[in-house]
Amino acid sequence: MTWTAYRVALRVLSPIHIGWRKLGNLQQTRPYVTGRSFWGALTARITREQGRNDYTEIGELVNEQLAFTYFYPSTRSDRVTHWPWSTQWDEFAWTFLSSYASTALEDGHSAEAGSLHETEFIAPHTRDKEQNPVFLVGYIFERGDCDFLICDWRKALDRLQVGGERSYGWGRVRLEGKCERVSDNRCFESYSLSYEKDYPQITVPEEKELLAHTVDPNNDSIKGTIEPLLGRETRTSSGFGGSFSPDVEICWVPGSKMTQSKSFRIQQKGIWRPD
């Protein structure tokens, strides 16, 4: 199977909330855009651009003909400058994350009891005094026989909305520059790519981190945390985010570290599976 890899940088235009977990009154965001969130945003935009209403069909075509990594915040459009784990976490959180507090009103005048909550988000500008623009950096893989309905995916990148709170204008991004074709079979600087099987393959070097949720729970060469991965999907019959994903996967979370080099397949919705 022939695949072509492109490095993609998306300029963050408004706060992005990728739903994760709740701590007290705080709704935390994941510090990256998951493959599922990106797949949903791309599916919705391509479907609208085509003037169709069949999200299920377009979503299946995206799954078959495109693959992608997770997207990570960065102060540069050509590489990831900060990783959201281990010793870099404090600097990452200070640079990219912020939050918004809100409450429901009772009778339109006073705060409703127990309704105060705070929503964390990836900010469109860094928190330092320079307030630099924030980019999301990742990779998209296009299959050689890509269907004409999907081959205009580059146009869709200028009008994506990813994550939650979209009705408030959150999640807006646009393509920064052009999608740069990868010529050296490498991504995120240290990870090598190959295309010998039905999906792109990525090799994680020893002592480097997994960069996506990875289904390989019995692998004793991975050190980190596992979690059940469940998400919402948009289907024609249920509306935006109205359906849960059909399967729950037990995955190693991004940031888990390999104690020895190993290859994985980048499969549907950006999830990695053993080669």
- Copy the structure tokens of residue 152: 């205009």
pLDDT, tens digit (0-9, with 9 covering 90-100), for 131-161: 999 999 999 999 988 877 777 899 999 999 9
Q: Does any domain span residue 142?
A: yes
**Cα Rg for the chain, rounded, in angstroms?**
19
In DSSP terms, which residues pair with 214 in a beta bridge?
A: 252, 272
Q: Is residue 263 part of a domain?
A: no
Q: What's the CA angle centered on 154, arms 166 and 80, to 5 degrees?
A: 75
The ranges of the chain with pLDDT < 70 are 1, 103-116, 231-246
Determine the Cα–Cα distance for residues 242 and 110; give it in Å rounded to an integer. 31
In terms of DSSP bridges, do strands 117-122 and 26-29 run parallel, antiparallel, or are they unpaired?
Answer: parallel
Whether residue 113 lies inside any domain: the answer is: yes
Give the residue carrying structure tokens 């705060």.
111
CB atoms within 10 A of CB 206: 11
CATH classification of the domain holding 38: 3.30.70
Q: Which residue, 237, 179, 264, 247, is CA-closest to 36?
A: 247
Evaluate whether residue 260 is within a structural domain.
Answer: no
What domain range includes position 50?
Answer: 3-199
Asked if residue 145 belongs to a domain, the reply is yes
Phi and psi angles of residue 104, each rounded to the nearest 5 degrees, phi first: -85, 150
Q: What is the pTM of this model?
A: 0.91
Residue 250 lies inside a defined structural domain of this protein: no
Q: How many domains does the chain have?
A: 1
On whether residue 22 sits in a domain, the answer given is yes
Q: What is the predicted pLDDT for the residue at 275? A: 83
Residue appearing with tokens 């977990």: 21
Element (H, E) at 38: helix 35-49
Which of the 8 DSSP states describes residue 211? -
Token readout for 245 is 């994903």
As to burial, measured by CB atoms within 10 angstroms (0-12 exposed, 13-18 middle, 19+ buried), residue 63 is middle
Per-residue pLDDT at 199: 95
* Residue 159, helix vs strand vs coil: helix
pLDDT of residue 125: 98
CA 145 to chain CA centroid, Å, is 25
User: To the nearest 10°, the Cα dihedral for 53, 54, 58, 61?
Assistant: -160
